[in-house]
Amino acid sequence: MKRLENRICVVTGAARGIGAAICEAFLAEGAQVIATDCNETALHDFAQKQGCSAMRLDVGCEDDWNAFATQYPEIDVLVNNAGITGFEQGMVAHDPEHASLADWHAVHRVNLDGTFLGCRYAIGAMRNRPSGSIINISSRSGMVGIPAAAAYAASKAAIRNHSKTVALYCAQQGYNIRCNSIHPAAILTPMWEPMLGSGPERAANMAALVADTPAKRFGSPAEVAALAVMLASDEAAYMTGTELTIDGGLLAGSAAVPGS
C-alpha cells in the first residue's frame, strides 16, 4: 500500500517549484491531489501533465477559500505552500528603514493571511475525517532576521508561530489534526531565476548564493517534497507543532569560532 492512498491532498502555489514537487510526490504515493495556484494558465498546464485536479485559488482572498470549501468540503492534507518574497516585480526596498507599508502588507497578504485562511479552512474540512495534516511552508528566514527582506522574514516567523497555535488548538478540541512547519533554505526553484542569470555568470552566482551553506549546494524541490510526504503520512502520527529545517546545515550554527 502506498503511503497516501485514499487521502485527499490540497497544495497551494502548486503550479511550479516546491508546490509542484509536493504534488508529484503525493501523486506517486497514491494520493488524490488537488493542485491550486493563482496563476491559472500555469496551474492547468501542470495539472494536465500530472493528471490531477486543479482549481484557481489566490490564497490571500477569503472569497476564493469560500468557493474552494464549497467545492471541496472535506480533505485530509493541506500544504500551505504559496508564498512570495516581494521581489517578484523587481528589486524594491524591503529593509526595516525604507520599506513601504503597501509592500509590507502585500507580502503578508499572501504569506501570512494565506496561511491563516488555509489553516482555518483545513480545520473545518478535516475535523470529521479520521485524521488530518496541515503542513505550512515557512522558511529558514522565519528563524533569523533578514535585513533586506523584513516582510518576508516576519511573515515566515509568524507562520512558524501560527503552526504551533493551530497544533495546540486542534489537540485541545480533540481533533485528530496535526499541524507542522517546514523551514527550507536555498531550494533551487524558479523563485531564484532573476538572481541567477542565464549566461556564463550563472555558475558563479549559484556558488555565491550557497557560499554560507555547509552543504555548498542548493537543495532540490524533491528533497522538500519528501519531508511533506512524511508529515502527511501516518509515519508522523505523533508529530504536531514541530518545525523541520531543510537547509544544508545553514541553521546548525556558525563556523566563526576560535580555532576555525
As annotated, the active-site residues are 152
Binding of residue 244 to ligand NAD (CB under 6 A): no
| Residue type present at position 215 | A
Binding of residue 86 to ligand NAD (CB under 6 A): no
Identified binder of ligand NAD from the candidate list 8, 78, 83, 126, rule CB under 6 A: 83
CB of 232 to ligand NAD, least distance (A): 16
Q: Which is nearer to ligand NAD, 210 or 236 (CB)?
A: 210
Task: Dump strand ranges (E) for the chain.
Answer: 8-11, 32-37, 53-56, 77-80, 132-137, 177-184, 243-246
Q: Which is nearer to ligand NAD, 82 or 150 (CB)?
A: 82
Identified binder of ligand NAD from the candidate list 24, 29, 58, 76, rule CB under 6 A: 58
| Residue type present at position 249 | G
How many Cβ atoms are within 10 Å of 100's Cβ, its own excluded?
12
Measuring CA to CA, which residue among 42, 194, 49, 69 is closest to residue 125?
69
Binding of residue 30 to ligand NAD (CB under 6 A): no
How many Cβ atoms are within 10 Å of 177's Cβ, its own excluded?
25
Measuring CA to CA, which residue among 54, 109, 101 is closest to residue 82?
109
Task: Name the grid cell of 68.
Answer: 474552494
Q: Which stretch binds ligand NAD (CB under 6 A): 27-35, 172-180, 183-191, 229-237?
A: 183-191
Binding of residue 197 to ligand NAD (CB under 6 A): no
Q: Which stretch binds ligand NAD (CB under 6 A): 3-11, 117-125, 180-188, 200-208?
A: 180-188
Task: Name the grid cell of 204.
Answer: 558563479
Each residue 105-144 as x (binds ligand NAD by CB under 6 A) or -, in order, gives -----x--------------------------x-x-----
Query: How long, in residues, is the chain?
Result: 260
Compute the chain's Rg from CA coordinates.
18
How many Cβ atoms are within 10 Å of 226's Cβ, its own excluded?
14
Q: How many residues bind ligand NAD (CB under 6 A)?
A: 28
Given the rule CB under 6 A, which residues bind ligand NAD?
Answer: 12-13, 15-19, 37-39, 57-60, 81-84, 110, 137, 139, 184-187, 189-191
